[in-house]
A and B are shown apart, each in its own frame.
Chain A
Amino acid sequence: MSAYLAFAQSGFLTQLAYRNEVWANLFGKLVQVFARVAIWTAIYGGAGVIGGVSLEEMVTYALLGGAVTGAARYETVVGGIGHALRTGDVAVWLLKPVHFPLYVIASEVGRALYRFTFLVVPTVIFVALFYGMLPPASFFHGAMFVAYWVLALAIFFLIAALFGLVAFWLLTSFSLEWLMQALLNLLAGQLIPFWFFPEPLGAIARQLPFAWIVYYPSAVWLGRLSPEECLAQFGIGLGWAAALAFGVWLLWRRASGRVVVQGG
């Protein structure tokens, strides 16, 4: 376990070395968050409430939307596994007493925490100064948001690792990165919360693991889930995380068997 903490820490620290990039990224993120808020302001026009949701709530939703996806990068996980496969580095990792997908995830978690602290939080505060942001619906909801955020990060990276491992069969990770983006676009609730989806699309999207990446954490913050629902959905999310972790473990076992076939 301590090895993975060290990987995460080194991921965090290597980001410190590229401060110019951080400024450029900060600016890029800022533009995106402004855009999401602008879209909702335009949609609401003069209306204060649409479908039982106020503009303030939607602005808050837009700001929270980047809490995980603004910090975590699936590309480095999917691409990292693909790269190790293409260059043969993966053979070296088989010799080491660490679980390779877990290593890739751990170092990316470190980078995600860095981006969260130095990119996401400042951008959210900055945009909130202009447009305002609602506090969590209650202390309970705020605390649950933190738990959901951690769960979201776990689900996000486990899905990314699953996609990365498929590269062992497809032999290209490029298309897998793009496909993961497609699923995130539609099913995470990044831009449009599921309560604005046409049914039964919304009902289906609520059941899929992507929903725990953006939709559920933000919905919890806004208090759109009762305390009982908060806990129940959190349990289902944990179930998804466990299933995904099992999937990663299984695929990695199969994949490491295949590496031999590819070697040479």
Chain B
Amino acid sequence: MRQLRIALRLVLMQIRSQMEYRGAFWIDRIAQIITYSSSLAVIWLLVDRFTELAGWRWPDLLLLYSFHVLGYATGAAISFTQMRDLEERVRLGTFDSLLTKPISPWLYIVFSGFNIGYAGHILLGIALMVWALWIAPVDWSLLTIAYFIASLLSAAMVTAAFLTMIGLTALIWVRSNHLYSIFFGFWELTRYPLDIFPVGIQGVMLTIVPLAFTSSVPVAVVLGKQVPLLGDWAPALALLAGPFFVLLAVLCWREAVNRYQGAGG
């Protein structure tokens, strides 16, 4: 309970400090919205010319894109920049001082660096999702609505867990940032249906880089499409992936903090 209050306090402090530069903050958000819209425009140009991509039409791809943006932004807000900068904390030795504080270092790092910069992603993601849900061919029932929300949460959890696991390697190897370029290589692929990729890449995206669960698997389930490799297991696995990878990340974090020796020298 006390931890929760501190987390909330840290987030409020972070918001207040970011809002000191309100003009610059919103200029940056608008620039991000424009860039994400341009990536979506490229997909629109593709389906405008070719009608479909492996059986996915514009409403399907729009839903996929909005899910990808929303799930990623929610997860990354509590992981990406914080974990990317962990490398710097380790190198400078400032992580060591966190270990002596009467609060979980994870809690402090994540919430003191809570990234409200994802506000732009969230605004765009919601707008696109409303548009997509308007035109996408989904048979809505209470069950599908509940499933949709739960799978979006699961997607955010996979994103946060995976970004955290990349970042915590800095505790052991000191450097971690180059691994993020592999992450973002695969991350860009989650804007497209999993079906279009060679089996090798599909396999990787369902296991060691589980990003397929952050967009194309749950969205295919909601749209009633077949998911390659997973078949009938897809609906359940899309929901279980979040909790599973969060658990894995928690275990990895504990292990890494236990083994942490400092940057040495």
Contact = CB atoms under 8 A, between A and B. Distances in A.
Contacts of A191: 42, 46
B46 A43 contact: yes
Interface stretch (B49-57, B104-112, B150-158): B49-57
Most B CB atoms within 10 A — which of A29, A31, A35, A186? A31
B50 A182 contact: no
A184 B182 CA distance: 21
B179 A24 contact: yes
A179 B201 contact: no
B227 to A, nearest CB: 16
A60 to B, nearest CB: 18
A175 B197 CA distance: 32
Given A42-B53, A179-B34, A172 B27 contact: yes
Interface stretch (B64-72, B186-194, B232-240, B254-262): B186-194
Contact of A178 (B34, B42, B195): B34
Contacts of A197: 45, 49
Interface in B44-85: 45-46, 48-50, 53-54
A186 B197 contact: no
A27 interface: yes
B201 A34 contact: yes
Contacts, number: 103
A23 B179 CA distance: 10
B182 A28 contact: yes
Given A186-B38, A198-B49, A35 B197 contact: yes
Interface residues of B, number: 37
A160 interface: no
Given A35-B192, A38-B197, A179 B185 contact: no
B57 to A, nearest CB: 13
Given A31-B189, A182-B38, A185-B38, A175 B27 contact: yes
Interface of A: 18, 20-21, 23-25, 27-32, 34-35, 38-39, 41-43, 50, 170-172, 174-176, 178-179, 181-183, 185-186, 191-192, 196-198
28 contacts: A24-B178, A24-B179, A25-B181, A27-B182, A28-B184, A28-B185, A31-B185, A31-B186, A32-B188, A34-B197, A34-B198, A35-B197, A38-B198, A39-B196, A41-B196, A43-B50, A174-B28, A174-B31, A175-B27, A178-B31, A181-B35, A182-B34, A182-B38, A183-B38, A191-B46, A196-B45, A196-B49, A198-B45
